[in-house]
Homo-oligomer: A and B are copies of this chain.
Amino acid sequence: MDELIRGILKGDRRSVSRAISIVENEQVSYNAKKIVKEIFQYTGRAHIVGITGPPGIGKSTMIGNLSAMLSEKGRNVSVVAIDASSPFSGGSLLGNRIRMQESLTRHGVFMRSLANRGLKGGLSRSIWDTVKILDASGSDIIIVETVGAGQADLDVVNLADTVIMVLGPGLGDEIQAIKAGIMEIGTLFVINKMDLPGAFIAQKDIEETLAMSLKKDWNPPVVGVNSLTREGYEELIKEIDRHGEYAKGNSDLTFRKFRTELEITIDEELRSRFHQEIRSFLADSEKIKALMEKKTDPYSAAENLINNIA
């Protein structure tokens, strides 16, 4: 274990991979906790950039381009891709993911996919732990991609310093939904596919909506990009860096981030503390039969158990 920790801190990729596999388990283990406890003091240096947006908008291609360009500028880039628990979104993204992976490997960028596997997930906690490992291993920038659907997106908004919301031309209803109150989430808006008709209108649309709620400290810029020609990418990188500087100096943001992480960790710890008792209880088929025969109800059964063990 000590060797593993040393490996992470030296930026050894095999150690980093192994550590992520340990924290990626559905049930948090003694070893997972030990890793995070040991490396925690070496975290906080990396700029964590979340990338979210509707499926099919070109997030994977964008991450491929961004990582390649950042890497050419000498930055140490890592990418974490989060798979939805759904069979569908997973499938439709597979092709893009494979292409992204190839581009990243060519540029020496470390990439890891995290999947949501169980009923309860544990995905939230493992995303935080994975980012911490990459941070301690010396990443300058950690890009976290979500599929644009489900709990994982909320996690990324909480975890990232900078949240890039990728939109495109012709989103119709989606733009409306975003305008209806979700604009808060993005700290940076990107309109992809600027070569397609409607992209310019989409950009103006977002800009006008943002202008209606000007803030005193940070007003999200809207950057148009073309992922085929890489037009707009230099400006995008400039804005990412600018927001990174802003976020670093904002102690409210930092406070909120740590608070959310603590909340998720407590929730996980509570579950794991009673995991064994709950498992034994559920393994007793008489308890389930009592429900089937309506001799009790789920809430009464749960209250009885918790009264006994907690």
Contact = CB atoms under 8 A, between A and B. Distances in A.
Contact of A273 (B150, B299, B310): B310
A149 B270 contact: no
B306 A36 contact: no
A92 interface: yes
A89 interface: yes
A158 to B, nearest CB: 7
A64 to B, nearest CB: 18
A11 interface: no
A248 interface: no
A299 B92 contact: no
Contacts of A303: 269
Interface residues of A, number: 85
Interface in A271-298: 271, 273-274, 278, 281-282, 285, 287-289, 291-292, 294, 297-298
Contacts of A54: 88-89, 92
Given A176-B94, A288-B262, A310-B273, A148 B297 contact: no
Contact of A88 (B121, B177, B271): B177
A85 interface: yes
A198 interface: no
A227 to B, nearest CB: 19
Contact of A271 (B153, B255, B270, B289): B270
Given A37-B299, A44-B294, A273-B310, A262 B287 contact: yes
Given A154-B85, A274-B270, A298 B92 contact: no
Contact of A173 (B95, B251, B268, B306): B95
Contacts of A41: 294, 297
B92 A302 contact: no
Interface in A233-256: 251, 254-255
Given A85-B150, A254-B292, A305-B266, A91 B173 contact: yes
B305 A282 contact: no
Given A87-B182, A251-B292, 17 more contacts: A54-B89, A55-B149, A85-B151, A87-B177, A88-B148, A90-B177, A91-B173, A92-B172, A92-B173, A92-B177, A119-B260, A119-B263, A149-B150, A254-B292, A255-B289, A261-B298, A270-B270
